[in-house]
Amino acid sequence: MSGKLHEECGVFGVSTHLDEAAGITYNGLLAMQHRGQEGAGIAVIKGNAILYHKNTGLVNEVFSKDVMEKMPKSNLAVGHVRYSTTGSNTIHNVQPFITEFLTGRLATVHNGNVINAKEIKHHLETCGLDFSATSDSEVISSLIAYKTVKEGSVEEGVVEAAKKLKGAFSLIVLSGTHKIVAIRDANGFRPLCIGKNEYGMAVASESCALDSCGFRLIRDIKPGEMVVIEDGKIIEERICLPKANEGICIFEYVYFARPDSVIDHLSVYEARHHMGRILAREHPVDADIVCGVPDSGLEAAEGYAAESGIKLASGFVKNRYIGRSFIFPTQTQRENAVKLKLNPLGFNIAGKKIVVVDDSIVRGTTSAKLIQNLRNAGAREVHMRISSPPFKHTCHFGTDIDREDNLIANRMSVEEIREQIGADTLGYISIGGLKEACKKCNMNFCTGCFTGDYNIEVGDYLKSDLES
């Protein structure tokens, strides 16, 4: 298994006056490849039909030059990159989900995790609906279609479906009526933002995708808000879900999002830089250099160096052509994968006392290998600093923390973890410090994976008030 956590998905949608919606969406998905590397898909409108292509693999693998040349010319598209936290990694679970119903067709892309999906699926099956996948996203798409038939419009179908969903969902729905409907859950667990250019509008999980496609970030979609886009402009925007305890997943700022993104008014880069500064204040140490673990430890390392006055230096060279470590077929290869991906830069670290800044420690295996590799390269001391608090609890909203006993912080104290990974000292940022680093965000935070206190009651997730 990889030593990092993974977030479920990235979504993108565009309505433009150009006939290049598929290509724009492809570029948007490339910019969000970090959010999901197991599958990708794009759906477009052609006449009254929704046509699509999807498969397992990276974006450029799924959409080869030949595939892109065959994609229909269209001014409407939605797309998705997937990392599976619900459902196995098969083509059946790759999005978009295309759902046909009595009066039309729609394509749905979803980021998050709906915790009452099993209950909803059972209800829809009793109403005669069939399912071919095992993910909560297919259930959401089918529920939207079911409600659209009852309500008479896709907009109201999305609203009524969203009222029945419990958990995290940032959704973009492409309708056969040539509209894009975007909605964010009332808690705002996962990000969703809107951009504009002279040709139309786009919706994406992260603003970096809007930037990459030539759209200017306008704003974030508010928790509980629906936005309807038609012919390249917003035709409706309203808060349609009951007010809830707002709280974006704070790990978006620690690790998931790209540093050039802005989420809910806060620059991800600025947040990580401030995390490093606070780490330096909370856990100072005498050292020669500070180095960050690529990629999401780099900005926090800059902050640590700036606050402490210790020289910032490169400690690792990253091989950007190596995938996640669990793709290697044998345990020996998996163990060697850490050094294949991150090779210590001996010139900078030999004989030095080093502060190593990383975003998290999940199981501890990757950190132990990194530290051992640094010592093998001649490091005199290795002081580990982590820009998130210890992970102790399962995430129910789209992060692959499956079992709490897999988390090293559940089994060991900080001192025991330090000894286990082989560091000279170990310091985690405090929850208060992390919130302080992200204080410019205009929302509260979900910190359930650190504290066990979630923004919604998860103990009752099997219960449902779903009505026919």
| DSSP-derived secondary structure letter, 132 | -
Question: How is residue 65 written in tokens?
Answer: 């030059």
Please confirm, yes or no, whether 446 is among the known catalytic residues: no
Q: What is the pairing mode between strands 311-312 and 289-292?
A: parallel
Task: Let me know how many helices (H) and strands (E) the chain has, helices first.
Answer: 17, 24
Query: CA 387, CA 406: separation in Å to the nearest integer?
Result: 20
Query: Measuring CA to CA, how many Å separate 356 from each of 150, 253, 382?
Result: 57, 19, 7
Helix or strand run (H / E) with residue 158: helix 154-162
- Rounded to 10 deg, the angle between the 154-162 and 136-151 helix axes is 130
Query: CA 5, CA 116: separation in Å to the nearest integer?
Result: 23
Query: CA 447, CA 157: separation in Å to the nearest integer?
Result: 31
Q: Which residue has the tokens 């693998």?
A: 61
Helix or strand run (H / E) with residue 410: helix 408-411
| DSSP-derived secondary structure letter, 48 | T
Judged by phi (left if over 0) then psi (alpha if -120 to 50, else beta), residue 42 lies in beta
Q: Which residue has the tokens 């008030």?
A: 465
Question: How is residue 131 written in tokens?
Answer: 């399912």
User: Any idea which residues carry the catalytic annotation?
Assistant: 9
